[in-house]
Homo-oligomer: A and B are copies of this chain.
Amino acid sequence: MAKAPTVYDVAERSGVSIATVSRVFRSPATVRDDTRQRVLAAVNELGYVPSAAARGLAARRTNVIGLFFPGHDETVPDKPVDAARGDTVPIVDEDSDRAPDAENLYFDEVLRGAEIEAWRRGFALMVAAGRGNAREALVTDIAGRVDGLAVLARTVPDELLAYVARRIPVVILAGAQRADDFDHVSASNGPGMRTLANYVLQDHGVHDVVYIAGPADSPDDAERLAGFRDALADSGLAESGVRILRSDFTREGGRAIATRLLAERRPRGILCSNDETALGVLDVLERRGIRVPEDVLVTGFDGISAGRNSRPRLTTVHQPMVELGRAAVHAITARLDDPGLAPQSFTLPVEVVLRESCPRV
C-alpha cells in the first residue's frame, strides 16, 4: 500500500505518454498491439489500478448506480463488534427474536437483480439504507457519487427526491404509477390481486370474505385494494357486502387484526394485501385450531420466501423482485443514454401462486 502508481508511472515505465496508457484501458482498439503489451506489462509490474475518482471527474460520469432502500439499523445494536471470548459456545433453545423480517428478504432480491443488471451494463452498484434522521445527508451524499438512483417507494420524501433529480435520473421502485416526473418500476398490483380474488370468489365460490389492506399511504396497497374491488364487481358483488380492514403490512399487525376479526366472527376467506399480514393471520388461525384451507382460505401478496415454508404454505401473488431490480437499473441506463426521454413507467407481470392456504379447486 505504498502510494498507488498512476498513469504517469505507467507511462514512464513503458515509454509512452499518459494518453496512450489511458487509451489502453478506454479504447484498446486504437492502440497498436505491441504498444499495448508493453503498457500492460508495466501495469502489472507496478500494480497499477485506475482511479475511479479521477476517471469519474474527467469523464463527468462515475458509472455507478445507487440503490436506496428502507433502513433496518434500528434492529442492530450500536455496540462494537466483539470477537469470541475464549471457546465458550452458548447453547440456546430458539432464536425467534432473530428472525429476519420478510421485508428485508424482499429488498434483498431486488438488490440482487439490480446488482446483476448494473454490472452487466458496466455500472457499479452502491447501496444505502435509509437512516431515519440522517436520511437527507445520506441521500445527497449518495447522489453525489452516482449517475442515477433507484429508490424504494416511500423511503425518501418527494421533496428530497426532486432535489436529487435535478442532478441525476431517479427511478422509483414498487410505488404506484404516479403522474410525476420520475420514472417508475413496479409490479402489476391491481391485476394480480384481481385475478387472485376472482379465484377465491368464483373458482372457490367463496363470497364471505374479508380483505385486510395495508397502510393507507402505500400506493401499492391502494392498487391492490382497487384490484380487489374490481374482482368484487366482476362477480357482481356489492362492496358493502364485504369487510375491508386495514393493517400495517407486518406479521404482528396481521396477528392483531386477525384476533380482532375472529372475536366477532369467522369469514370463509381472508385476503391480505401482503404476505406478512397473511402469515400473521395464519399464526392466529393455527393457534385457535381453525383449519386452513378447510375452514378458512387465506391469501397474501408478494411471494416472499417465508410464505413458501409456512404451515400451511401460503397462496399468494408473486412479484418478480429480481426483475424489479433489473428493470430499475434498466430504466436508469435508458435515461442516461437519452436524457430527453419522457418519464416512463414499467409494470412487471406477476403470477398467482396457488399453495395450500388456498389450493387449486
Interface residues of A (CB under 8 A from B): 1-2, 4, 47, 49-57, 62, 64, 72-73, 76, 78, 80-85, 87-95, 98-100, 104-105, 108-109, 111-113, 115-117, 119-120, 124-129, 131, 138, 140-145, 163-169, 188, 190-192, 194-196, 199, 303, 305-306, 308-311, 317-318, 322-323, 326-327, 330, 339, 346-355, 360
A303 nearest CB neighbor, chain B only: B95
Alpha-carbon distance between A324 and B326 when the two chains are bound, in angstroms: 27
Grouping DSSP codes into helix (H, G, I), strand (E, B) and loop, the A interface class, with mixed when no group exceeds half, is mixed
Nearest-Cβ distance from residue A77 to partner chain B, whole angstroms: 10
- Asked if B326 and A84 sit within 8 Å, CB to CB, the answer is no
Q: How many copies does the complex hold?
A: 2
B76 and A113 contact, CB distance less than 8 A: yes
Give Cα A197 to B81, complex, Å.
27
Q: Report Cα–Cα, A355/B131, bound state, in Å.
A: 35
| A164-B330 Cα distance, complex, nearest whole Å | 30
Distance of A245 from chain B, by nearest CB (Å): 24
Residues of B within 8 A of A188 (CB): 84, 87, 89
Find out whether the CB atom of B87 lies under 8 angstroms from the CB atom of A191: yes
Picked from B78, B129, B346, B360, the residue with its CB within 8 Å of the CB of A81 is: B346
Contact B50 A144 (CB under 8 A): yes
Residue contact A126 to B124, C-beta cutoff 8 Å: yes
Which residues of chain B are near A1, meaning CB under 8 Å? 165-169, 339
In the complex, the chain B residue whose C-beta lies closest to that of A3 is B60
Cβ contact within 8 Å between A92 and B47: no
The answer on a CB contact under 8 Å between A81 and B323 is: yes
Q: Return chain B residues, CB-CB under 8 Å to A81.
A: 117, 323, 326-327, 330, 346, 348
Inter-subunit contact A191/B306 (CB<8 Å)? no
Q: Provide the residues of chain B in CB contact with A87, threshold 8 Å.
A: 188, 190-191, 194
